[in-house]
Amino acid sequence: MLKVKNYFLTIFSFLIIVQNAFSQTDTLTVKDEIKVKNWNNLPYFMDDLMLIVGLNRGGIHFSNEFKDLSFASGYQIGVEGFLPLGNITFFDYGIHFSNRNFIHNPQDILFESYFLDLPIYVSFSLPELRSIDLRLLLGAQFSSRLGTRQSKPYVLNDPEMFYYIPSQFKNFDFGMTFGLSGEVGDFYGRLRGYVGANNFYSQEQGAYSAFSIEMGYFIFRRYRKY
């Protein structure tokens, strides 16, 4: 009789353990479903939000001193997104931290300027080339200069030479941006140009310009609910 009692007690204990295990599994499953649901229900503007990085080759155009200036390499990193305006038209916006530079040749001095850029433009879809979504873009860019670094001081040995003083560089810049972009899955590539319309220095008419190669990754697109 004691053996039978112990047998039933063992079975009862086993059933309790199994029930608890399934209850925990159900709880975890519900939590996982809630997480997936939350990711799928992100705000609409985040669907096509991307992290973008790039390299640029920049300089000064329309300068009085153009013979003594050279282009130099820089970079940019930022976040961008876009919203559809129609079947083939999109409104694109973003914010970048960028570095645009130029060289003053007579004494080989590099001027490195850092900006907070706000590009705003419209893009137009082109007929698809296999699986690549191609778009033309055209718009404006507004920039606030955060600071400028001069690689070395001038040697003041030529009274007729023009000297750039970073503290006299203007703090606001704006101009036109244009280019061609392509998308494949979660990845984005772009060739882009920028031509400034505001003279960067108080004593001459030159403005910043740059040409960039940029790569991006759509951060939340994989979670979009179709």
Q: For the segment 150-191, what is each residue's pLDDT rounded down to a tens digit?
A: 999 999 888 888 999 999 999 999 999 999 999 998 999 999
* pLDDT-based confidence at residue 26 (cuts at 50, 70, 90): very low
The confidence score (pLDDT) of residue 18 equals: 44
Average pLDDT over residues 39-65: 85
Query: Are residues 14 and 108 both part of a single domain?
Result: no
Query: Are residues 8 and 117 both part of a single domain?
Result: no
Query: Are residues 9 and 61 both part of a single domain?
Result: no
Q: Pick 210 or 204 by higher pLDDT.
A: 210
Q: Is the pLDDT of residue 69 over 90?
A: yes
Q: Pick 35 or 220 by higher pLDDT.
A: 220
Phi, psi of 133 (to 5 degrees): -90, 100
The confidence score (pLDDT) of residue 9 equals: 54
Query: Are residues 78 and 138 both part of a single domain?
Result: yes
Q: Is the pLDDT of residue 218 over 70?
A: yes
The confidence score (pLDDT) of residue 40 equals: 58
Burial class (CB in 10 A: 0-12, 13-18, 19+), 23: exposed
Q: Pick 171 or 24 by higher pLDDT.
A: 171
Query: Are residues 72 and 21 both part of a single domain?
Result: no
Query: Are residues 5 and 103 both part of a single domain?
Result: no
The confidence score (pLDDT) of residue 22 equals: 43
Query: Are residues 82 and 143 both part of a single domain?
Result: yes
The confidence score (pLDDT) of residue 203 equals: 87
Average pLDDT, the chain: 85
Q: Pick 34 or 209 by higher pLDDT.
A: 209
Average pLDDT over residues 64-92: 94
- Domain extent for 50: 44-223
Number of domains in the chain: 2
Partnered with residue 183 across adjacent β-strands are: 133, 188
For 85-124, the pLDDT digits (tens) are 988 999 999 999 999 999 999 999 999 999 999 999 999 9
Query: Are residues 61 and 105 both part of a single domain?
Result: yes
Query: Are residues 35 and 49 both part of a single domain?
Result: no
Phi, psi of 220 (to 5 degrees): -110, 0
Query: Are residues 153 and 217 both part of a single domain?
Result: yes
The confidence score (pLDDT) of residue 2 equals: 44
Phi, psi of 47 (to 5 degrees): -55, -45
The confidence score (pLDDT) of residue 125 equals: 92
* pLDDT-based confidence at residue 145 (cuts at 50, 70, 90): very high
Task: Assign residue 63 the CATH number of its domain.
Answer: 2.40.160.20
Q: Is the pLDDT of residue 208 over 60?
A: yes
Q: Pick 174 or 5 by higher pLDDT.
A: 174
* Range name among 40-49, 187-196, 217-226 with the lowest pLDDT average: 40-49
Closest CA to 221 of 67, 51, 5, 55: 51
The span from the CA of 148 to the CA of 146, in Å, is 7
Closest CA to 185 of 48, 88, 77, 63: 48
Query: Are residues 97 and 175 both part of a single domain?
Result: yes
Q: Cite the DSSP H helix spans in the chain.
A: 2-40
Query: Are residues 102 and 24 both part of a single domain?
Result: no
The span from the CA of 47 to the CA of 66, in Å, is 44
H or E stretch covering 136: strand 133-150
